[in-house]
Structure 1
């Protein structure tokens, strides 16, 4: 497995799931993943992070037995799905990827020793001796048949020829052949939808046919190379008879997850104590340390200068201790918060440069961080009919909204589809870990009074059809705001679904203004609510910016912000406090002693996730030397 893709999949292992056995009536199950198995004397540099010492594997198996885990095979899972026989408590499935010879010589004897079933995923083209340059010694077809004949080993497809990277952008970066779109440097164009779909379906079907010819039975399980899949790949697997598939996201499973199971990849040759911690806790996720980055700071008309800017950013982020980057995916050269252009191919807005995928991948592989695509919800400077935009009530009737954000209305069906297609194109062409929804997702107490919005207000929500009637009543104004808050939340759910069709692993975060948290009645003016955000997003990124809010006492203000957050169930677990690195009102950087003091105060008060905006690589703000001292968190994995 190439290093960049190896690191790529390891980055998936960052989020915990609920304990798998919390509900005794519907027990869950874990899937553990191994690759190459080494003898102790073979552990020499450069170390392979996904290889495991045979002695450690033996100790892992013994620990499972001693602690009453039940190792089950695929048939037991199918029996549970059909209702024939329930899963045993503390069920575990063992998987081994790639079909290395070490499975036959080292893992299989241990499986026989403990009488543990396992699933072995093999790559079709490798079985034929193709594309094996740099690949470790592999099992022969005869050895695979012999392993299956033991009755302990299920042979799964690991695709026919998708276990590699493909050039997926103009810069030549490689992404998984399963989810990446081929980029032709000769024609300067991406693989078309129909060509991509045909390539995936053919590769999956060819693997299933090949294994049938080799083994006499069709594979029942697809194990996605590098853990990468999307809705099209899942459809291809199902069409080829493999309704069970496996990715590489950490966490536990229930029977509802069998279409795309999570797997705990065992990395770094963990000893039995570390293994026990992984199995019991599924790698509790790290506190986030977020650097919020403007792509506009990295972009330059001179591509060579862009490269220098990016290299400086990579060095800075890696050294800073940040583990997450909120990265701007849209261009806003005039700084008004609206998307003038985009940094990825799309069907609606100009492309400033096809840059987001390249920068995101470099950050993930070279700086070792998660990357969230920072995107507007509604604020697009689009050449579309005026009726698509948010309207405010002014001078006795609906007029174009005067807010600095030029927002398309989430109530207009054409506008919703337009924005949805932008998000769809982002996910189709770029690979990233999450989405940060921009702070443009607001509607005032005079918005939205476009005709589609008023129709929903009256016909769906049962409020008066006339704006004046709503606005005359404080009770109706609040009800109107609450409905709008939920409408915006459901609209971002729609956008998330568009992304997850192609990138099913992504997490979500949304910017929240401070006032709706500090004074919940201000929902009327924003259509924002912390409880509503907790329901819709994995994280909420609040603007913890006392100077922007002109707070008389910044420390007291931040203290109140944390206190109000903690009043909500899971509030501190999901809130990202974003400090400001610049005082925009004074047009000057926040002094580092003030910035550091605020960071330490947030930590002391119990804030778990902390970030800052903006990160300015050009004049070292916040100061890197200071960030390195207090920003990192210990890696608990």
Structure 2
């Protein structure tokens, strides 16, 4: 049993049914050619409502969700909430008659600034009038939600002049070359959400209870601000089912490309969850140039190449490693701890997302950060009868050292704060050999927390003991990466995670003691496991057979192939 508490709702959710939120925008005439990707024709919209009814789905109101969250009632099986963004007049002329005909409820989200006469030039569709809005509300079928007052726009997000969603972006000021402070950002979001709620109240006499995030973008700060403004239920644009535990940020299936009934059925039943990854690694050090104009030419070229190759996911290096030793000496984003080689990651990630249409994962070290930090913060190995700073090419901070963990966590937090991306790829530096970590802090932790011997000689005495020690180190590092992901999710709650994995621990599981890596553990912790499938680097005598064996070994684990990315050696 899981108990969830949001400050507004307090109820046990473990056995609650799942429900869907289906998202529409403009409904156009049946004989009209859709102009925008989010346009749905009137005839297909009606067919979709019919399909939902014929297949046992029940259209529910937002009040039903509130009542279920308060424990006053239960949602029916296969419950569906209909949500319409932007407040187009087609909701009144085409959707509302169908709602009345079938007695179906819905949510319509209004952009305050647009309703106030400040509609952008590229929004051609007519909007609802306030008279129509009041009629919709009085019908008892339609919940009037906020789509913000003026957050449905992009604001300057980096020195290269990209604009990104105002609700989650730290505004960049080119005059001062500084980003919006934490306090200024929080005040801006709180003020805007309160003004949005007040604006709707002034025109309808009712305060909105639901916030629909522009572009589906939100973070923990905006969620808190929405609740403070009286809107405890919010909606994003992540595909998937919901339970009542998700009401602070509901997932929604956005309907695009005017699907026919069969395509709509696939969306609703499959949740667009079968997308295979076609991944490319992108090394920022090769993209970067001291000449900013050359950097832009490099970027244009690589974005086009990614698009032409039909890549759908890019693992984009976010740290600077010009000497190629795998240690982060600087970063490509603003942060509080390491030098910034150039504020470039957000620019490149955004161009890849917008132009090439890919998902971008920030490729980041777990432990390998080279800086003027105390030696005691770094991993130590047992060598020549004593603990010494590790000689591995990766100069790794110790996961047993609280100050070192905090140092890395704050870097990840800054990554989430200043950059827009979809996931994290944890680099292959998160390893500990069977001689590591032999620092006093690590050995004390090993004894006091894990109950294993606190002396290296005893830990290393037998194969069973070494493997027992390795299992715990594997889990410790994985838990640390979970913590790093949670820091990023303060600002980017929808991110997915992947982690690099050496091939040998999969082919020979006992070698976990040499790496502190376990395929089974990685499958449990990450959305994807990125196996370094590089037979030539591993000096395999029969490369193709080696690759087949690797795939077969991954397939032995439940979900092994579905969650595995094989990183092939191209050159």
Q: TM-score range by the shorter chain?
A: over 0.9
Q: Does 1:54 align with 2:54?
A: no
* TM-superposition CA deviations, 1:313-339 (whole Å, max 9, x none): 011110012111111001110010111
Secondary structure, aligned partner of 1:60: helix
Aligned partner of residue 576 in structure 1, secondary structure: strand
Indicate the residue corresponding to 1:600 in structure 2: none
SS in 2 for 1:259: coil
Query: 1:56-455 alignment to 2 at 5 Å?
Result: 56-135=44-123, 136-455=125-444
The alpha carbon displacement at 1:24 in A equals 11
The structural deviation recorded for 1:249 is: 0.3
2:26 to 20, 30, 36: 36
Distance 2:392 2:560 in 1: 30
Distance, in Å, in 1 between the alignment partners of 2:188 and 2:253 is 29
SS of 2:242 mapped into structure 1: coil
Q: CA deviation at 1:40?
A: 3.2
- What is the CA–CA distance in structure 2 between the aligned matches of 1:456 and 1:145, rounded to whole Å? 64
Q: 1: distance between equivalents of 2:390 and 2:567?
A: 28
The answer on whether the counterparts of 1:61 and 1:114 sit within 8 Å (CA) in structure 2 is no
Write the distance in 2 (CA, Å) between the matches of 1:278 and 1:316: 30
- Distance in 2, matches of 1:126 and 1:274, equals 32
Match of 1:624 in 2: none
Q: Structure 1 residues 207, 77: closer, same or farther in 2, change over 3 A?
A: same
Provide Cα deviations, 1:426-445, integer angstroms capped at 9, x if missing partner: 11110011100000000000
Q: Deviations over 1:248-275 (max 9, x none)?
A: 0001111111111000000011111111
Which residue, out of 517, 523, 527, partners 1:534? 523
Q: Structure 2 CA distance, aligned partners of 1:443 and 1:196?
A: 40
Out of 559, 563, 568, the residue aligned to residue 570 of structure 1 is 559
Distance 2:440 2:40 in 1: 62
Counterparts of 1:304 and 1:282, CA distance in 2: 42
Asked if residue 490 in structure 1 is aligned to residue 479 in structure 2, the reply is yes
TM-score, L = length of structure 2: 0.96
Matches of 2:219 and 2:16, distance apart in 1 = 27
State the SS of the aligned residue for 2:381. strand
Structure 2 CA distance for aligned equivalents of residues 354 and 528 of structure 1? 33
SS of the residue corresponding to residue 31 of structure 1 reads: strand
Between the aligned partners of 1:531 and 1:225, the Cα distance in structure 2 is 39
Show structure 1 runs of 4+ deviating over 6 A. none
User: 1:500-559 deviations in whole A, cap 9, x for unaligned?
Assistant: 110011100000000110010000110000010011100000000000000011111111
**Distance in 2, Cα, partners of 1:473 & 1:273:** 60
TM-score, reference length from structure 1: 0.86
Unaligned runs of 5+ in 1: 1-22, 583-637
Gaps of 5+ in 2: 1-12
Residue 242 (structure 1) shift:
1.3
In 2, the alpha carbon distance for the partners of 1:312 and 1:202 equals 41
1:428–1:502: 8 Å Cα contact kept in structure 2? yes
For the 8 Å contact 1:246–1:263, the answer to whether it is kept is: yes
SS at match of 2:421: coil
Q: Secondary structure at 1:129's aligned position in 2?
A: coil
Cα distance, 1:384 vs structure 2: 1.0
CA displacement at 1:380 relative to structure 2: 0.7
Mapped to 1, the partners of 2:191 and 2:54 lie a distance apart of: 44
Structure 1 CA distance for aligned equivalents of residues 87 and 437 of structure 2: 58
Q: Give the Cα–Cα distance (whole angstroms) in 2 for the partners of residues 412 and 60 of structure 1.
A: 56
Q: CA deviation at 1:214?
A: 2.0
2-structure distance, mates of 1:367, 1:213: 43
Q: Would you say the 8 A contact 1:244–1:258 is kept in 2? A: yes
Instruction: Find the residue that maps to 1:42 and give its secondary structure.
Output: coil
**Higher mean C-alpha displacement, 133-142 vs 90-99:** 133-142
Tell me how far apart the structure 1 counterparts of residues 523 and 147 of structure 2 sit (CA, whole Å).
37
SS at match of 2:399: coil
Distance 2:95 2:346 in 1: 38
How far did residue 81 of structure 1 move?
1.2
The alignment covers a number of residue pairs equal to 558
RMSD of aligned Cα (Å): 1.2
Aligned-pair CA distance for 1:222: 0.8
1:523 is the counterpart of 2:523: no
Q: Deviations for 1:149-200, whole angstroms, at most 9, x for unmatched residues?
A: 1110001111111000011000000110001110011111111111001000
Q: Distance in 2 between matches of 1:25 and 1:229?
A: 27
Shift of 1:67: 1.4
